[in-house]
Chains A and B, each alone.
Chain A
């Protein structure tokens, strides 16, 4: 039993969530293998963001269990889950608006590098934190904006920084919530390249609406409808899955763009 669980980066077992009397997530089950890239798709209101919030600890679950690398994380606080190796990004950019791009990234690495609540060490002298921040800065392509205050970045720059903050701490399991939301075609393509680059060797779950992004990046696709996962399979199989077509993709399963 343990051996099997250990090979799964993330596992959702019959997860349920109710807000008052409405049950939003009704028994969702998912498994993510190590190094795998999983995309979660579904119609609006299916509960995709809620699912992310449950996994990352923002909300508590009403039933079922969530396991990260074999350990149950249900009921843990967000920072506890993060320390166990899971990081998430937000659909609406959630940055530190009054800090510069560089500072945003440096903050994101401090805990994982063990600096914790230190008030006796000088930030400027922390070589490894500086190097890691520079590394991520280069990966997300914002070196020239390193001194710009995050609040005044352009939308696409903010989304890039959002991803940067998420991966900077070196978490093994990454959750990306609609990373390309609001982007143009070329911006989306750049974002896909970025995501592919920074998640090498990591396990990734991403919520997406843009089907070309999904089909381009994902190893597996899970379809969430009314709080339940109705299918979880390779992109090719999902495309031809009748239930999925009926519930979500409507009639034409090949092109989704409006």
Chain B
């Protein structure tokens, strides 16, 4: 769980992170890019807060959206209020969300953290369903079917910032993201942060070194709920609407999915997961109705073949490179990648055609695929898909053994070197 021990290295990493946040809008200039970047930003905070529970504490929660969602609702009502709430500037609204999230963390967390493991997971599921179901019962607070809307442009402009334009919202999110990330990283370097790791690894032993594991989990959950509330508040400012979906099991399941994809064992895993998550749910969903199928399959393949997430895959390659052995594996690796891409193309073509046949048949059998007009009822496209898949399979059979051999060899050398340096 620790990265570079060098202080200079740390400074570079954080500086680089800040730099990326600053210049991202200059790189991605397409119309919708700012909205996507803003969404990624809020999801990153949400994912990091979730990983405090899962990756660092070993607590699998199915109901984390309760804290971000209730934080969001508190913020939206504060933004709409004409009383004290009106005096709080939008810039500080995420703090309101954080405090609201924290409040519910204190309230619900005491009950949920009494138990651990699967029981804890079930109780969080029950809790989120409870809150979601009660959202229809209290339309005054939850806004009923339509949710609660608000306007983020209110009050006097602050040095000319009204938060009307998306770019201002993006930088607000980026600023809170930067601060929250630092704070959550700092947490991992504190006594509580380390002990919650111990609780993850061996809750029984932790009791025998003087710690009450329930308190450790409870306090961690409260802090996690604080940051979840911040992400909820930023989402409110961004979308200007909050609805029951913000406290749903679906949203809780989504963050679990994305954080796992990113890699729960690494601090930056959720950052990766947020990018992948938005890629699938926002960008891909614009281009194909099959995006949930792709997401589900991708997730299952990761669970099966890379349970430590994308971060682990990246770090494994980085490790090989840092030992100077990347040159030995890049050729077979490229071969395997090419095989995979070809196979992916064939698979995607087949799925897209299938979806077109079953969902869009009313519009005729011809669809646009990879820029070509394709008749999904004809035999030709299907034959081509079959050929592509066979080619991919052949390439895979060709390159896989070579890659495996090179990979195992290289890693064995690295392990020997590491062990040798200890002798």
Contacts and interface: CB of A to CB of B under 8 A. Distances in A.
Given A94-B202, A97-B201, A99-B201, A112 B210 contact: yes
B212 A123 contact: no
Interface of A is mostly: loop
Given A95-B201, A112-B210, 10 more contacts: A79-B208, A79-B213, A88-B208, A98-B197, A108-B209, A117-B216, A118-B190, A121-B191, A145-B422, A169-B210
Interface string B216-236: 100100010000000000000
Closest 6 CB pairs of A and B: A111-B210, A78-B207, A119-B192, A96-B201, A115-B191, A82-B210
A119 B210 contact: no
A106 interface: yes
Contact of B200 (A98, A115, A124): A98
A79 B207 contact: yes
Given A79-B211, A82-B208, A111-B211, A121 B198 contact: no
Given A77-B207, A88-B208, A95 B219 contact: no
B215 interface: yes
A162 to B, nearest CB: 10
A115 B195 CA distance: 11
Nearest to A145: B422
Contacts of A122: 186, 189-190
A165 interface: yes
A79 B210 contact: yes
B191 A117 contact: yes
Interface of A: 56, 58, 77-79, 82-83, 87-88, 90, 94-99, 103, 106-108, 110-112, 115-124, 126, 144-145, 148, 165, 168-169
B110 interface: no
Interface of B: 1, 186-187, 189-195, 197-198, 200-202, 204-213, 215-216, 219, 223, 265, 422-423
12 contacts: A83-B210, A94-B204, A96-B198, A96-B201, A98-B201, A106-B194, A107-B194, A111-B211, A116-B191, A119-B187, A119-B191, A122-B189
Contacts of B195: 107, 110, 117
Given A110-B191, A121-B190, A122-B190, A79 B202 contact: no
A115 B194 CA distance: 12
Contacts of B186: 122
A157 B187 CA distance: 30
Contacts of B422: 144-145, 148
Contacts of B211: 79, 111
A77 B212 contact: yes
Contact of A97 (B202, B204, B206): B202
Contacts of A119: 187, 190-193, 219, 223
Task: With a 10 A CB-CB cut-off, give which of A83, A99, A117, A169 has the most chain B CB atoms.
Answer: A117
A93 to B, nearest CB: 10
A53 B192 CA distance: 27
Contacts of B216: 117
A138 to B, nearest CB: 16
A82 B190 contact: no
B326 to A, nearest CB: 24
A78 B190 contact: no
Interface of B is mostly: helix
Given A83-B210, A99-B198, A111-B211, A94 B205 contact: yes
Contacts of A99: 194, 197-198, 201
B209 A123 contact: no
Contacts of A111: 209-211
B192 A95 contact: no
A149 to B, nearest CB: 10
Nearest to B205: A94
Contacts of B212: 77, 79
Nearest to A165: B209
Contacts of A168: 209
A133 to B, nearest CB: 12
Nearest to B423: A144
Contacts of B204: 58, 94
Contacts of A94: 202, 204-205, 208
Task: With a 10 A CB-CB cut-off, give which of A78, A148, A165 has the most chain B CB atoms.
Answer: A78
Contacts of A115: 191
A82 B205 contact: no
Given A79-B212, A119-B223, A144-B422, A96 B189 contact: no
A134 to B, nearest CB: 16
B126 to A, nearest CB: 26
B205 to A, nearest CB: 5
A97 to B, nearest CB: 5
A58 B205 CA distance: 10
A123 B200 contact: no
Contacts of B192: 117-119
A102 B142 CA distance: 49
A79 B214 CA distance: 11
B191 to A, nearest CB: 4
B151 to A, nearest CB: 36
Contact of A78 (B208, B219, B223): B208
A118 B195 CA distance: 10
Nearest to A168: B209
Contact of A95 (B205, B210, B213): B205
Contact of B191 (A90, A123, A165): A123
Nearest to B1: A98
Given A96-B202, A97-B202, A169-B209, A118 B197 contact: no
Contacts of B187: 119
B343 to A, nearest CB: 35
Nearest to B222: A119
A115 B210 CA distance: 11
A196 to B, nearest CB: 23
